[in-house]
């Protein structure tokens, strides 16, 4: 199996290859003066099983095109199989046409990858909303892996929470909270998120209903797939502080962290926020390399 990392995920590809006990492949990507990309694979790929790792973060259009260029080249050079690994899958949220004329971008990205020669697909903690399963988006074999076991282990070893409770900041996050709770050998719950409406319009402001969940004197670990603006986490943390929680931590797979998000979360009383290298950044302390490597072995 040959492991190739695109320009967005070269360090991650190296870690995956190390997990598998091998050296990563050699891929050169550079840019011409007019902005076009040049790509060259230095390894022999004919009749090889190849894994192309490229997370689609920050500049998703650019990263998607590079992945398409890589996979199409692998197919043209005679690779036996091409597994695309997009730890952060961009455009997954638009999985339906809500208004006439809208692009169903999740389906478009899937078709492009299939047309480029991809034979199987892996992603991690993809926010799939209504579809629920990434296999429903692709016609090729596709799996949604989870980083929550690795995040739960990190929380156990580094946070050392006392009398912990794991909370999903909204109903959709309950599935991730349950996995982290198993690693911490404790129970989990989920808050309910409500978007504030003004004069018939839905705003971006959210409120969190903590219900009758008891957090007094306990360490709280929030678990979510994506932290973007930090608004929901901040409101949830405030509710926990009001309820008498002790220390509050946050673990997430994709730390998007829009401008001001981390400051907003810390101001709400969160002690630490930890993410993974699906979306590299200052808080990406947990690698998903073991998750990817295990899936490639299976």
As a whole number of angstroms, the distance between CA 63 and CA 260 comes to: 25
CA dihedral of residues 67, 72, 75, 80 (deg, nearest 10): 20
CA angle 289, 295, 298 (to 5 degrees): 140
Catalytic site residue 153? no
- Helices marked H in 124-230: 148-154, 174-184
Among residues 15, 30, 182, 193, the one annotated as catalytic is 193
**Is 252 exposed, middle or buried (CB count within 10 Å of its CB: 0-12, 13-18, 19+)?**
buried
What's the residue count for the chain?
298
> Could you tell me which of 144, 81, 137, 143 has the C-alpha nearest to residue 112?
137
Q: Is 73 helix (H, G, I), strand (E, B) or coil?
A: helix
Spacing of C-alpha 33 from chain mean position: 33
CB 286 within 8 A of CB 263: no
Other beta carbons within 10 Å of 33: 5
What secondary structure, in 3-state letters, does 223-244 show?
Answer: EEEEECCCHHHHHHHHHHHHCC
Residues 6+ apart with CB under 8 A from 76: 117
Which positions are annotated as active-site residues? 193
């Amino acid at each position: 199996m040959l492991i190739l990392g695109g320009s967005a995920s070269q360090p991650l590809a190296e870690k995956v290859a190390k997990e598998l006990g091998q050296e990563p492949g050699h891929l050169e990507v550079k840019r011409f003066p007019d902005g076009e990309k040049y790509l060259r694979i230095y390894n022999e790929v004919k009749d090889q099983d190849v894994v192309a790792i490229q997370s689609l973060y920050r500049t998703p259009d650019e990263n998607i095109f590079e992945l398409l260029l890589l996979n199409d080249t692998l197919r043209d050079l005679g690779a036996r199989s091409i597994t695309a690994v997009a730890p952060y899958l961009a455009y997954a949220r638009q999985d339906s046409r809500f208004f006439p004329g809208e692009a169903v971008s999740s389906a478009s990205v899937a078709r492009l990858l299939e047309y480029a020669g991809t034979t199987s697909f892996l992603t991690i903690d993809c926010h799939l909303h209504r579809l629920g399963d990434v296999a429903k988006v692709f016609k090729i074999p596709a799996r949604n892996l989870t980083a929550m076991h690795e995040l739960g282990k990190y929380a156990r070893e580094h946070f050392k929470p006392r009398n912990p409770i794991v909370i999903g900041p909204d109903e959709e996050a309950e599935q991730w909270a349950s996995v982290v709770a198993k690693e911490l050998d404790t129970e989990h719950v989920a808050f309910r998120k409500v978007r504030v409406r003004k004069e018939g319009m839905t705003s971006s402001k959210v409120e969190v209903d903590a219900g009758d969940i008891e957090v007094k004197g306990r360490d709280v670990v929030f678990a979510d797939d994506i932290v973007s603006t930090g608004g929901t986490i901040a409101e949830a943390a405030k509710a926990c502080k009001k309820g008498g929680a002790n220390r509050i931590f946050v673990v997430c797979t994709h730390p998007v962290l829009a401008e001001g998000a981390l400051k907003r979360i810390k101001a709400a009383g969160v002690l630490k926020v930890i993410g993974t290298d699906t979306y590299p950044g200052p808080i990406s302390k947990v690698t998903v390399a073991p998750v990817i490597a295990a899936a490639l072995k299976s």
